[in-house]
Amino acid sequence: MKDYTILIPDMCSIHFSLFKSIFEAYGYKIEVLKNEGPSVVEEGLKYVHNDTCYPALLVVGQMIDALKSGKYDLNKVALLMTQTGGGCRASNYVYLIKKALKRLNYDHIPVLALDLGSLGRKGGFRLTLPMIVKLLVAITYGDALMLLNNQVLPYEVNKGQSQSVVDYWVEKLGNQFKEKKGFLKNEIKKNLQKIVQSFDKIPRLYEIKPKVGIVGEIYVKYSKLGNNHLEDFLVKEGCEVMVPGLMGFLMYSVNNRIEDVDIYGGSKIIRNAAALVLKYLNMYEEMIIKAVKKFSNFTAPSPFTHLKSLAEEVIGRGCKMGEGWLLTAEIVDLVRNGYENVVCTQPFGCLPNHIVGKGMIRKIKALYPKANIVAIDYDPGATKVNQENRLKLMLAVARENLETEFNKLGEIKKSAQSKAYLPKLELKTEKSLD
């Protein structure tokens, strides 16, 4: 398999660039697909029923479009896809890809599943425990870079400087990975400190902008192809964007193993193993939080344990299909952290995410009246213009709320100054009378 070019559909661009470096360090030739446009959707619609899953349609379409581009030797190319195995239509990704390849007479092209089932697999693409650990470290770096870039990008004085810092660190970390460096605890802490400080040094404008959080189904939440470049649109509209990190979703997925045993019963061995992995992930999460809080004034991500506590006041933790209670908890956490404007991205027909996203809006607004939440559906029939119009309506409310708050602060400040000044006048009068 190491003489094959392995194609991976893009999702989290920063994270996947780091993944690429790790796979290449193990001798694999990886290419993260960046092809977009109408042809991707058209190819997806040819081979995936539009009721199946919009992310699946895009992923299959992107892969087929790439194979038809003529860029690759079809006898030396393979496709790699993550596989969660949960109760979701996304668990059929590999089957759908193979079905599409068979219809094209491309069924000789290997389709590789990146899941725990490939751990220790002999031959072909082999996922090893050391590789998994390194991928987790890459997620740690990716989350930090994404977090800081989002908080600097809207305010940078020199346009493009924040992205330049991201590119610098992706290249630097990639070189470290190839030299088998950057994975030890002390190395991670040192790198995170330098990453935070490098973003903190970027000259920024002190402006008040609407703060917008993005949550939703994992693919359309992160993928530019999946959400029609949602983050770029919001930044262009003058917003600061916050997207919860990928580590939180991993911790949620592992925590579900524990919840299964606690709620439904099962193997204590599996529960203990999941608890150990969760503790390990928590260590990486803490490194990001401590680095951000210690070396900058940026907003640090909330701990996973805090998200769990927030979910309990709104939704049961047994609700764990799709993004489950985590999606609801992320909305609440964003609102509490000042990102009161939230875009909930969801593929049309994704029932779990409609329940834990759109279905929870009324309850969240009852608890947090300032919450300004809009649910945006993404599917082949949804036009970008319609999506952006709905976003603009949400932003109009966001700007109105921001102006109201600004005016209130101004009145409070004037009142405080008046109260602080009056006693001095009285004091002067007393002295003059003496």
pTM: 0.91
Residue spans of the domains in the chain: they are 5-126, 128-207+246-296, 209-244+301-434
Q: Residue 240's beta-bridge partner residues?
A: 211
- Check if 5-126 and 209-244+301-434 are the same fold: yes
CA–CA separation, 14 vs 36, rounded Å? 17
CB contact burial 374-406 (16+ within 10 A = b; e otherwise) = bbbbbbeebeeeebbebbeebbeebbeebeeee
Helix (H, G, I), strand (E, B) or coil at 201: coil
Buried b / exposed e over 97-128, threshold 16 CB at 10 Å, is bbebbeeeebeebbbbbbeeebeeeeeebebe
For 283-363, list the strands marked E by DSSP.
341-347
Beta bridge partners of 211: 240
Cα distance between residue 239 and residue 228, in whole Å: 17
Whole-number pLDDT of residue 249: 94
Q: Measured between alpha carbons, how far is residue 226 from residues 195, 220, 239, 351 in Å? A: 28, 5, 20, 17
Torsion of CA 314, 319, 320, 324, to 10 degrees: -40
CA distance 243 to 227: 13
C-alpha torsion sign, points 34, 39, 40, 43: negative
Query: Do 225 and 36 form a contact (C-beta atoms < 8 A)?
Result: yes
Q: Residue 241 pairs with which residues in a beta bridge? A: 212
* CATH architecture of the domain with residue range 5-126: 3-Layer(aba) Sandwich (3.40)
CATH number of the 209-244+301-434 domain: 3.40.50.11890
pLDDT in 10s for each residue of the chain, 434 residues: 778 999 999 999 999 999 999 999 999 999 999 999 999 999 999 998 877 888 989 999 999 999 999 999 999 999 998 876 566 766 778 889 999 999 999 999 999 887 655 554 545 677 888 999 999 999 999 999 999 999 999 999 999 999 999 999 999 999 999 999 999 999 999 999 999 999 999 999 999 999 999 999 999 999 999 999 999 999 999 999 999 999 999 999 999 999 889 888 888 999 999 999 999 999 999 999 999 999 999 999 999 999 999 998 899 888 888 889 999 999 999 999 999 999 999 987 788 888 899 999 999 999 999 999 999 999 988 899 999 999 999 999 999 999 988 787 666 655 555 444 434 433 333 333 33
